[in-house]
Amino acid sequence: MRRFEIINNWIDKNSKVLVLGCGNGDFLVELNSARMTKSQGIDINSEKVYEAISRGLSVIQGDINTDLADYPENSFDYIIAHDVIQIMEKPDAVVKQIIKLGRNVIISFPNFAYLPIRLTIFFSGRMPKTKVLPYEWYDSPNIHLFTIKDFKDFCKKENIIISRQHYTGFGKRNIPGCASPNLFSEFAYFMISGIKK
C-alpha cells in the first residue's frame, strides 16, 4: 500500500485541504495529482518549506503549535495531520483547534500499544525501535506517547465525532476490520469532525 493511499481515498476531489507538517510537499503533490485538490501546507522546517515552494506548492513556514490561529474557522474541507500529533507540544489543544478550521480532520499516528512494542518492552526492558519508530529514546521527536484506545477516549471525552477509522498492522497489511486494533495495529488513521452538540 502506498504511503498516502488510505488518506487519499478519504479525500473528495476538488477539496480545499491543509496539510500540517507537510515537509517538502510530497503529499501535496500526490493530493493535487490524484484528487485535484486545492492544497496548502504548513511546516516549521525552513529548508523543506523552501523545497516545497520551489516545486510550485502553496506552503508557508509556521509552527502548528502556535500559528494555526491565523486561519479563520471553516477554512478547509479537510485538514490532514499525518504522523504529527505525537510530536506536538499540546496535541489536545491543536486537535480542538483544527476541528474548528476544517469540516473533516484526518489524523494518523503510530499506536504505542502495538503488540511487538509491548513485547519488546516486556522482554528487553528497553524502549522499542521499529520501522515506524526508528528512534533512540533520547532523539525521538515523539513527546506524547499514546494508543488507539487513548485517542478514542479523548474523542469521547471531548465529544468529537469519529466518522472513519482504518488500521495497518503486522507486515503493513491492511486490517480495516481488525477486532483488536489497539493490540494488532501498528498505525491508525481517523477521520474526525465537529464536536457533538
**Sequential pLDDT tens for the chain (197 residues):** 466 888 999 999 999 999 999 999 999 998 888 888 889 999 999 999 999 999 999 999 999 999 998 899 999 999 999 999 998 989 999 999 999 999 999 999 999 988 888 888 888 887 777 777 777 777 777 778 899 999 999 999 999 999 999 988 764 455 555 568 888 888 999 999 986 55
Query: How much is the pLDDT for 145?
Result: 86
Q: Kindly write down the DSSP assignment for every residue of 6-47, as one continuous string.
A: HHHHHSPTT-EEEEET-TTSHHHHHHHHHT--EEEEEES-HH
Q: From 23, 92, 88, select the one nearest 57 (Cα to Cα).
A: 23
If residue 99 lies in a helix (H) or strand (E), which one and from where to where? helix 91-101
Extract the C-alpha cell encoding 3.
504511503
C-alpha triplet 6, 10, 13: angle, nearest 5°:
125
Query: Any bridge partners for residue 168, and if so which?
Result: 174, 187
Tens-place pLDDT, residues 159-196: 999 999 998 876 445 555 556 888 888 899 999 998 65
On whether the CB atoms of residues 132 and 187 are closer than 8 A, the answer is yes
Query: How much is the pLDDT for 1?
Result: 42
Residue-range domain boundaries for the chain = 5-111+145-195
Query: How much is the pLDDT for 79?
Result: 97
Rounded CA gap, 21 and 13, in Å? 22
Query: How much is the pLDDT for 178?
Result: 58
125 DSSP 8-state letter: -
User: Does the reported pTM lie above 0.75?
Assistant: yes
How is domain 5-111+145-195 classified at the architecture level of CATH?
3-Layer(aba) Sandwich (3.40)
One-letter identity of residue 144: H
